[in-house]
Amino acid sequence: MAPSFDMTRTTLPQGTVVRLVGVIDERFDRHRFLEMATGPVIVVDFDKVRRVTSFGVREWMAALAALQTRYLGFINARPSVIAQFNMVARFGEPGQLITFFAPYLCPGCETDTQVLVDLRRDYEAVKRFETPVVSCPKCRQAATFDDDPRTYFSYAASTQAPTPPPEIAGLLGEEAKVLRFDKLVEGNITGLWLSGELQRIGSFRQLIDSIEGRVVVNLENVSSSTPGGLEALRALWKVEGAECFVVKAPVPLLQHELDKLPPSARLLSVRGALDCPVGHSNAFDLDVAALQQLSDPGTPELSCSTCAQALPSAAFVDVLGRLPLAPTPADIAEFQRHHPHAPERASSSPHMTQLSKTPLPPGAGGPAFFGRYEILRRLGAGGMAEVFLARQHAMGGFEKQIVLKRILPGLAADASFRDMFLQEARLAARVSHPNVVQIFDVGQLDHTFFIIMEFVDGSDLNRLLRTAVRMRQPFPPHVAARIASDVCAGLWAAHSTVGAEGAPMPIIHRDVSPHNVLVSTLGNVKLSDFGIAKAFDSSDRTPSSTLKGKITYMAPEHAKPGDRVFDARSDIFPLGLILYEMLTLVHPFKRPTDYATMLAVLQEPVPDVRRQAPHAPEALAKVIARAMQRDPEKRYPTAQAMKQDLEQYLAGTHAPAGASEVAGFTNMLRADMLSASAIRKSVLSEGTAAELESTDDVTTKADS
């Protein structure tokens, strides 16, 4: 009979890989595991682990408690193992989860597949509970994530991004050795982040054509180098008109390849590590100033950050003293301070990316491109911008569908429109929440500006409501409440935003409407379009002559003459109105003209939802009545307070009210959409339908 469990070991100069196979149960031999898991760097490979039992968890954690190593990492964790990371406290301590598999199911042929997620690269997306876009390996249809992302990613999202030592790349397979480039341009400074293995045959031609000005080459994630690897960098220093600086170069790499750095290269900082007598690793980034301070006899001795024992800094200083470190110019230091990591691992603040690829016109014998983005189709246009469904391409065959929004060519030169467009990106990028459409990038190409946004495969609530009206099918109360509660969560995230210094700086959406609520085919709800949002300041008033937003979903204080002061409660009124409309399929204030609609919002009584929909639960009627109070003081003070009442109602129904229930109802509406000739033939094109509805957007005069 074959054993239920086994383990094998691969010893490399940099460390040890222990591969576990089978079922981890009470027969897990922790003593054998400890004999195998030796060395300063240990990687545990879970790829072949089928199951982990409760008694197996007990034995596993006892083994980890006795393990002594400088660094412990986990790779290729299958769903059965991820379940233990999510459920069992300290299941992985003191290690770091680096890569794991995510489960997918094809809705067409029902093929199961698992996709590897690398937290070194995908941490920010996982933290936002975003799932990779995956095609079925059998029929090539879009596969769906076969779990709840908020549950499956809970452990990974709650930890810090893994920071494995450079030598670990050699233990993770050949893929980790591939040299990868990330680029960011700000002003006259170009940042280049290199990761993987430097190779003599590595091609830098894709970079050379666009390099100019001052170039910062970050080598912190370069794991190793083939013989002559640094020599491949010479091409960068030969570019005419460019001045290159090297930062965070790994000390072991420089010790072997120092002679390959040309005299024109400026080495500004290095990355090294010191082990204390016990074996704890301490990483350092050192520049000229830090090295001089370290060399000063009066400087206190360095101590281990873990056990406080003295570190052998004298030998470290001797090694670094032979490196030609140069002082860091002020502008380069400022650039590094604002951009310490590669773009995709940077903070949520959008950065300006200069693209050098000229857009190709459609029908020119190949796909249309805008910069590095392949344009799939034009989704529509509003008064300020046009929106495209696009595909982002990157190294290694990486593809991802995104939404590209660019300012209309005729408006790009207008400073007021340009500032408004960029303000949308700045504000929306500060809100990172699963119920808010994410902003990935903002950039400039050929004198126009663009925003790269998350693609939501689904429909906006306005289209769903129109279909529900045609079918005479109101939203089930628990589905309507779940959608409204999720919108509350997105609004609360915006209203709770803090500035760079940590001070509250709430963002008021000011355009909450069904057009800007997206519902995916999986039932996920996301708030979109911060085009007229404002970072709230009580002293900042909107002039009396200007109305912004959709009149049919405008809070009463927006429509009143005189200067207007907005706060979070201005977003709650329209959300109550949306909830009313989902239950009744009627807009209580909609009139033949905008002026009549505005008067109705200001003067007519707010109707009781149960008069129009007797089936509406009393608890939801109370929520709507409070949210739609004409006096802001009588409304919910926060979106979180409204969400709590909605969740209390949902808890009292004792019926499921999650994403799957939302998907079940809204996908039924979508099926009817597809049968109507006036609706697009593909749901994919509706992913950002909120951007297409421009007929209700107004910037008008109050006296017009």
pLDDT tens, residue by residue, 616-650: 999 999 999 999 998 899 999 999 999 999 999 99
Three-state SS for 142? strand
| Catalytic site includes residue 511 | yes
What is the percentage of the chain residues whose pLDDT exceeds 90? Answer: 14
Residue labelled with tokens 């470290």:
316
Residue 357 φ then ψ, to 5°: -85, 125
DSSP string, 607-674: PPHHHH-TTS-HHHHHHHHHHT-SSGGGS-SSHHHHHHHHHHHHHHHTS--SHHHHHHHHHHHHHHHH
* Residues 658-662, mean pLDDT to the nearest whole number: 90
Residue 263 has pLDDT above 70, yes or no: no
Please report, for the chain, the start and end positions of each structural domain, with discontinuous segments joined by +.
Answer: 5-166, 174-339, 352-454, 458-700
- Among the listed ranges 133-142, 475-484, 573-582, which one has the minimum average pLDDT value? 133-142
In terms of Cα–Cα distance, which of 88, 95, 48 is closest to 68?
Answer: 95
Whole-angstrom distance, CA of residue 416 vs CA of residue 404: 21
With vertex at residue 51, the alpha carbon angle to CA 45 and CA 52, rounded to the nearest 5 degrees, is 85
For the stretch 12-28, pLDDT in tens is: 656 788 889 888 888 88
Is residue 620 within 8 A of residue 583, CB to CB? The reply is yes
Asked whether the beta carbons of 574 and 564 are under 8 A apart, the reply is no
Q: What global pTM score does this model have?
A: 0.48
For residues 453-469, average pLDDT: 89
DSSP 552: G
Q: Look at residue 497 in the predicted model and tell me its pLDDT.
A: 81
Q: In sequence order, which residues have a C-beta less than 8 Å from that of residue 482 and are 6 or more positions away?
A: 525, 650, 657, 658, 659, 661, 662
Signed CA dihedral, 92, 97, 99, 103: sign only:
positive
For residue 691, pLDDT beyond 80: no
Looking at domain 5-166, its CATH class is alpha beta
> What is the structure's pLDDT at 540?
43
Q: Which helix (H) or strand (E) holds 424?
A: helix 415-429
31 CB-side CA count, 13 A: 1
pLDDT of residue 242 exceeding 70, the answer is yes
Report how far apart, in Å, the C-alpha atoms of 680 and of each of 246, 457, 670, 685 are: 52, 14, 11, 7
Fold held by 174-339: Transcription Regulator spoIIAA (3.30.750)
Report whether pLDDT(605) > 80.
yes
The strand ranges marked E within 199-278 are 213-225, 242-247, 249-250, 266-267, 269-275
Question: Which of 288-292, 543-547, 699-703 is least confident?
Answer: 699-703
603 pLDDT band, cuts 50/70/90, is: confident
In CATH, the number for domain 352-454 is 3.30.200.20
First to last CA, the chain: 86
pLDDT digits 0-9 by tens, 407-443 = 876 676 677 777 777 777 777 777 888 898 888 888 7
Domain 458-700: CATH architecture, name and number where available = Orthogonal Bundle (1.10)
SS3 42: strand
Tens of pLDDT, residues 173-203: 444 455 667 777 777 788 888 776 676 544 5
Q: What is the mean pLDDT of residues 332-344?
A: 75
Spot the catalytic one: 45, 182, 511, 697.
511
Q: Which tokens in the block code for residue 139?
A: 């029929």
- Residue scoring higher pLDDT (169 or 222): 222
- HEC sequence for 321-373: HCCCECCCCHHHHHHHHHCCCCHHHCCCCCCEEECCCCCCCCCCCCCEEECCE
Average pLDDT, the chain: 75
Same fold, 5-166 and 174-339: yes
